[in-house]
Structure 1
Amino acid sequence: MKLVRWIRPIVAGLGGLVLTAMIAQADEANDYPTSARAEYVYGCMKANGETRQTIEQCSCSIDIIASLLPYARYVTAETVLSMSQVRGNLGGEFRSSEQAKNALDDLRRAQAEAEVRCF
C-alpha cells in the first residue's frame, strides 16, 4: 500500500517530463514562422506552376528545409541571396565572403534534399 502511494506521484512526474520534452522538441522542429513558410510556398509556386500538386510539393519542400536548416541560418542565406544582387562594394562583400558562401551552401544542400524528396 505504501509503495503505491510513492509510485503514483513518481509516474505522474515522469509523464509530465516526457510531455514537456516532446513539446520542446516539436517547437525546435517548427521554428520557422508561418509567414516565412507561406512566402516560400508562394515563391515556389510562382516558379513551378500554380497547381494543387505544386502546393503540396512546395509545402513539402519548406518542411524538409526547416527540418535540415535552423531558421536563423535560413534568414542568413536569404539575406545573402538578396544582398549579393546589389551592385558595387556592398554586394561584393556578400558575393565573396566565406561566411556568405557557407550560408548559401547550407541552403542549397537543404533545397537539393527537398527537391529529391518532394518533386
Structure 2
Amino acid sequence: MSARAAAVLLCLVPGLAAAQTVAEQLNDYPTEARADYVFGCMAVNGNTREMLRRCSCSIDEIAAILPYKDYVSAETVLALRQGSGERMSMFKAGPVSEGIVAALRRAQAEAEIVCFN
C-alpha cells in the first residue's frame, strides 16, 4: 500500500490510527529485548521448557505494566549501580533513580505472581 493510500484510509477510518497507536503502545518492547530477558531469566531459573514458558510470561506481564522506555531507564540505572566511583553515587541513592527502579520492581513482582505461582 502506498503512503498516499494509507493516508486516505486513515482519513476515512478515524479510529484506525488510534487503534494502531494503542497496539503499538501495548507491544513497544523489541523482540531482542524480550529474548534477552527470557534468556537471562532461564539462565537463573533453569534452562527448561517450563522456564521458557514462565519467563516468556514474565516479560509479557512486565511489558503490559511498564512502557519500554521506562524499562530501559530502570535497566540502565541498575547497570550503572554496578559501577563504582563518585559519578555512580547519584544512581545508587537518588530519588529519581529509586523511583525508576521501584516501578520495574513492582512490575517484576506482579509478573512473578502471575507467571511463577
TM over 0.5: yes
Q: Which residue of 2 aligns with 1:53?
A: 50
Moved more, 109-118 or 87-96: 87-96
Runs of 5+ in structure 1 lacking a partner? 1-12
TM-score by length of 1: 0.83
Q: Does 1:17 align with 2:14?
A: yes
Q: Give me the whole-angstrom Cα distance separating, in 1, the residues matched to 2:38 and 2:69.
A: 18
CA RMSD of aligned residues (A): 1.8
Q: What is the aligned partner in structure 1 of residue 113 from structure 2?
A: 116
The structural deviation recorded for 1:20 is: 3.5
Q: Which amino acid aligns with 1:39?
A: D
Distance in 2 (alpha carbons) for counterparts of 1:18 and 1:60 = 30
Residue 26 of structure 1 and its aligned partner are, at CA, apart by 1.0
Question: Larger Cα Rg: Structure 1 or Structure 2?
Answer: 1
Aligned residues with identical type, % of pairs: 49
The aligned residue for residue 64 of structure 2 is 67
1:81 to 78, 83, 88: 78
Could you list the runs of 5+ residues in structure 2 that have no partner in the other structure?
A: 1-9
Alignment partners' CA distance in 2, 1:51 and 1:62: 17
1:98, 1:20 → 2: CA distance?
A: 37
TM-score by length of 2: 0.85
Quote the residue 2:87 is aligned against: 90
Deviates more, 1:33-42 or 1:17-26: 17-26
1:17 to partner: Cα distance? 3.2
